[in-house]
Structure 1
Amino acid sequence: MAGMKVLVTDHHLPGDELPDALAIVNPNQPGCEFPSKNLAGVGVIFYLMLALRAELRQRGVYEANAGPRLNELADLVALGTVADVVSLDANNRLIVTQGLERMRKGQMQAGLRALFQVAGRDPRQASAFDLGFALGPRINAAGRLADMALGIRCLITDDEDEAANLARELEDMNQDRRSIEQSMREEALRAAELAEPDTSATVCVFHPEWHQGIVGLVASRLKEKYWRPTLAFAQGDEGEIKGSGRSIPDVHLRDALDLVSKRYPGLILKFGGHAMAAGLTIEEDNYDVFVQAFEEAVQELTGRYQFDPIIETDGSLEPEHINITVAGLLQKQVWGAGFPAPVFRDNFFVRQQRLLKNKHLKLSLERNGEYFDAIWFNRDTLLPENIEAAYRLDQNEWNGNVSVQFIIEYAQGQD
């Protein structure tokens, strides 16, 4: 014991035992009256800094309205909020909106500017999609494959040249991450099919050669395919395996793991997380026992062993609203976890379709004599001629031209 005083900030649901710290700042700990319970970790520390600045002003350390200009960090807080996939309640949407506004004005950290560049995205049109699917994965690639310090250095440097070099390194790592993930995902799909997932409430997969930093992404892909709480494991320390899980709205993942830990003391060496994502460590020899225990826990908590995905839509979209203006307005809004973008549902005739790189389906659709371009990401099989589709309205930019495009969320044959 060094006798050092420690302040802990966190946003995860706390366990039964809390660390012996000088103070714990967590809106989700019992007794905390802070109203915004969905803050990401970066949001918690941001509000702590706001409170500290206010206290120092009150004590006279800073004059009124003086002290650090914390609004200059809004871009980083927005990025962390979206990338951590927390629920975008009213407060989080405000946080993200403020950050995006600064980015669109060019007021951002050098590292974010460089990441927009390597991702081929225009910061003047910055959106929550850019944060979650362009910048976030490139920063996270460092932590998944090497050392997260590289991503942190990119975010905090003030030197434009250093930021550009670091962003290129992160881009290279992200390409490697994609290749590794693709291989692991194919292996995981084969393993999941052998386990007959349609007859169980959960999906668990493990491979001793998988990369620890990628298993969370694999779990997410399997969860989307099978629509069940999913855990993917990789080799950990000697005799141990580490898992990362993703869940569906029907199942609180951390509660399920907590039930397993109470029902089978010692089976889970450690775990943590929240409703939709969690991590854990178990002994490799106990993997089969854990898989059965996890299955039992989910069935007990939900009373079910099958979960069917529900596609919620906003109904049909009138033809007069399918235009660049509406698509642009939708694109500028803050959509994400807990506050999804509008999804529409209509019937179409498939005029043309082809696979892009054998993993994305490009479509030309017709409805009432009007033609529409569409794409279904991560779809590798063709559709029948007549379909009912759930889709989002999007803008597609190509060679300087902007057009309306549908992003297909789901489609099925229509008689």
Structure 2
Amino acid sequence: MEGLVVSVKISDRAQNPGYQQQLENAGIHTLLARLWAARGVNDPAQTQPHWQNMLAPSLLSEVNRAASLLADAIEQRKKLLIIADYDCDGATACATGVRALRQMGADIDFLVPNRFETGYGLSPAVVSLACQHPNGKPDILITVDNGIASVEGVQAAREESMEVIVTDHHLPGDTLPDALCIVNPNKPGCTFPSKSLAGVGVIFYVMLALRAEMRQRGHFDPKGGPRLDNLADLLALGTVADVVRLDSNNRLLVTQGLNKIRKGHLQPGIKALFMVAGGNFQEASATDLGFKIGPRINAAGRLADMSLGIRCLITDDETEALHLARQLDEINHQRRSIEHEMSEQALATLASPESAQSASICVFNESWHQGVVGIVASRLKEKFWKPTLAFAPADNDELRGSGRSIPELHLRDALDLVSKRHPGMILKFGGHAMAAGLSLKTAYFKAFASAFNEAVQEMTGTSSFEPLLETDGSLDPVYANAETALLLQNQVWGAGFPAPLFRDVYRIRNQRLLKDKHLKLKVERNQVLYDAIWFNQQESLPEYAELVYELVPNQWNGVVSAQLLVKHARDA
């Protein structure tokens, strides 16, 4: 699935000289000031990711009510059970809640739904599992990274005389569950300034509020209680892995987590995952969390049971952590090979001319694995640059689908439109603008694909999309060095705050294929030679090419040099 089948539009991100000047006046490096200003940063405080600049927990609606309820429950020795989600955000949110609540004296355990048996979130099926929990029936269920859509599940819990505290960040539907309280920055009426907080961020804020409540009640000294900043590595991992927008508050949380990781203050499980992934935690970057650590945790929820991933994150025993990390690594290898096979099969079904004309992609195969359809959808979306849904068979003659979208289309809204136009076609759905999940009866697949395609065309006004590669323009040669590459690597980039991409014309001095699939280049600009690499690119380049690239550090034999990571090229 290499290369792009679609053409690419390249444009330069608008500069903001006014913002840039403000940042430079505060003593910020000229290049960083230019890059940050172009991403909307206008306040030097947003570039100082210190804990005291974090948005206050009190701004999050109902967080103090949740804290008060949890403090009562701890004092009354009530049994608490966290209901997690089976992705990395859900796993880190669960680990954050379990670790913090244990340190505050709570009787706490966790239960994670199984993707294949009970589906997503607090469903009535999960409630009946909670009733049979080995530690006894819980008094209070706490949802993390789910629950906002669990109207029936919360009702079922209350009928079993269990109360529910919902902590979530997903968009709510028309009806809210009848829980004791709901902490969600996206809940109607919540004025919390960061709507992009991940599930792990929400439970972290609840734990901060709970500690403050416990201090007020005299359980801890005014500045005592558990050191919650020691959970910052979990916070960073879940936030990056969930690909939420890295606004200034999320960048602060991720930066704090990366600082802890680099200094060696990290959970044994995360340390073990770095070890099995062949990464060095002392030089950890957001990219490592997103592409090395996150996928290994996610693999458990995709193919096996996410409690493996959660146990890895909550154990304090280094030997057990390494044992679990190795299992997660093994599952991730299986996931890769399943994904490769499914992607190849998907490509074969998309070879028809009518597929090329369609505004969207809907694929299904009876042999596919439910846990991997999301990744396949993501790969196809990147390749064809169309909103994509991939389906696998589930029980009861149903299909489970997972979708990925492009910036032009809000995916959850598109599914909502289909569901309103064709009542009963979609059994259930949920998600965000860029990713969503759904289930439908097998017999409806073709009709759904056609209805979805219609909704995409109507909402976007087009049937063909062109990816936009936004660059930061030319890189002044004075900055094309290892020092700048390290400086850029040490910043937090990601969703909504993309890593810098530069575009310049280079002379191609040398090119060869590495492992038959990556283009290794020696390129020249202003009489200076640079190493460059373009992953998954087999076609050679002309003598002069305009390269779109990231400047990254390359370490070899203890020497750091600047390398160009090529993302796109065209004849110059």
Question: Equivalences for 1:47-196 in 2 at 5 Å?
Answer: 47-194=205-352, 196=354
The amino acid across from 1:36 in the alignment is S
1:376 aligned onto 2:537: no
Q: Give the structure 2 partner of residue 335 of structure 1.
A: 493
- Name the amino acid aligned to 2:419: S
- Pair 1:44–1:195, CA change in 2 (3 A): farther
Partner residue in 2 for 1:347: 505
Normalization by structure 2: what TM-score? Answer: 0.70
- Aligned equivalents of 1:403, 1:176: Cα separation in 2: 35
- Contact 1:197–1:226, Cα closer than 8 Å, also in 2: no
Higher relative contact order (CA 8 A, sep 6+): 2
Alignment partner, residue 78 of structure 2: none
- Counterpart for residue 446 of structure 2: 288
2:402 is matched with which residue? Answer: 244
The residue that corresponds to 2:135 in the other structure is none
- CA drift of 1:399 comes to 4.0
Partner of 2:92: none
Is there any run of 5+ residues in structure 2 with no aligned partner, and where? 1-158
Q: 1:90 to 1:195 in 2, by over 3 A?
A: farther
| AA at the equivalent of 2:254 | V
Residue 404 of structure 1 and its aligned partner are, at CA, apart by 1.6
- How many residue pairs are counted as aligned between the two chains? 414
Distance in 2 of aligned mates of 1:21 and 1:358: 56
CA gap of 1:339–1:201, structure 2 versus 1, over 3 A, is same
Q: Is the 8 A contact 1:198 1:306 kept in 2?
A: no
SS in 2 for 1:234: strand
Question: Is 1:204 matched up with 2:349?
Answer: no
Q: Percent identity?
A: 65
1:285-322 C-alpha deviation (Å, 9 max, x unpaired) = 11111111111111111111111111111111122211
Secondary structure of the structure 2 residue equivalent to 1:350:
strand
**Are 1:192 and 1:204, in contact at CA under 8 Å, matched by a contact in 2?**
no
Q: For 1:166 and 1:398, locate their aligned partners in 2 and report how far apart those are by CA, in whole Å.
A: 31
CA displacement, residues 308-345 of structure 1 (integer Å, 9 cap, x when unaligned)? 11111111112221111000000000000000111000
Structure 2 distance, partners of 1:266, 1:273, is 19
Cα offset, 1:135, TM superposition? 0.7
1:311 partner SS: strand
Q: 2: distance between equivalents of 1:195 and 1:330? A: 43
- Give the structure 2 partner of residue 303 of structure 1: 461
Deviation at 1:185, TM superposition (A): 1.4
What is the identity, as a one-letter code, of the residue corresponding to 1:209?
S
Q: Which of residues 253, 256, 269 in structure 1 aligns to 2:411?
A: 253
Indicate the SS of the match to 2:396. coil
Q: Write the distance in 2 (CA, Å) between the matches of 1:397 and 1:188.
A: 38
- Give the alignment's TM-score, normalised by structure 1: 0.96
The gaps in structure 1 that reach 5 residues or longer are: none
AA partner of residue 348 (structure 2):
R
Q: Greater shift after overlay, 195-204 or 49-58?
A: 195-204
Equivalent residue letter for 2:329: E
1:177 CA displacement: 1.5
For the pair shown, the structure with the greater C-alpha radius of gyration is 2
What is the aligned counterpart of 2:387 among 212, 229, 246?
229
RMSD: 1.5
